[in-house]
Amino acid sequence: MIDLDTARVLFEYTDWSTHELVSCSLNLSDEQLDRDMQVGPGSLRRIFIHIYNGESVWLKRWQGNLETRWPSESEPTPVKDLLERFEREWLERDRFLTLLPPADLVVPQNYRDSKGSVYRATLGNMVMQTIMHTKHHQAQACNVLKRLGARWPELDYMMRVRQAVV
């Protein structure tokens, strides 16, 4: 089971990773962003929108909202606007986690999936799903950047935390 301190560390890492990926995409053309790359949601822009939607929907589920519809992923949102959306969502998520009593992570609660079926899971498992969903699609985005010949970030966790010894 995940604890709040671990969740915060993992979210800090996934937020940094998403920021790096989106930043590498800022100078890509709309054609590159929207090219169907035959991976995950299809295009790089759709992967980013899918990551955002996943984080947004899961936060609503954590809050007890029985969300029934997955938001559209076909809007031609500029990448810089997506980055701003991510940052607002991260602030809301962090506020939620700051106020969350640690004992609530083991409390089962109901949620509705994108097909409308109702399931039960602990809040801790729902938090883990949010992290894992993001990491899965970040790997797809990195792969797409490479295939487009664009600059791509090194997202290994140690790249984020290691310190050089002089």
**Which residue in 16, 6, 36 sits closest to 134, CA to CA?**
16
Structural domains in the chain, CATH included, are: 4-161 (1.20.120.450)
3-state helix/strand/coil string of 58-111: HHHHHCCCCCCCCCCCCCCCCHHHHHHHHHHHHHHHHHHHHHCCHHHHHCEEEE
- Predicted pLDDT of residue 68: 64
Categorize the per-residue pLDDT at 163 as very low, low, confident or very high, splitting at 50, 70 and 90.
confident
pLDDT of residue 70: 82
Q: Is the pLDDT of residue 9 over 80?
A: yes
pLDDT value, residue 32: 97
Query: What is the tens place of the pLDDT at every residue in 58-101?
Result: 999 999 987 667 888 888 899 999 999 999 999 999 999 999 99
Cα four-point dihedral sign 136, 141, 146, 151:
negative
Alpha-carbon dihedral sign for residues 18, 128, 39, 41: negative
Asked if 62 and 7 count as a contact pair (C-beta separation under 8 A), the reply is no
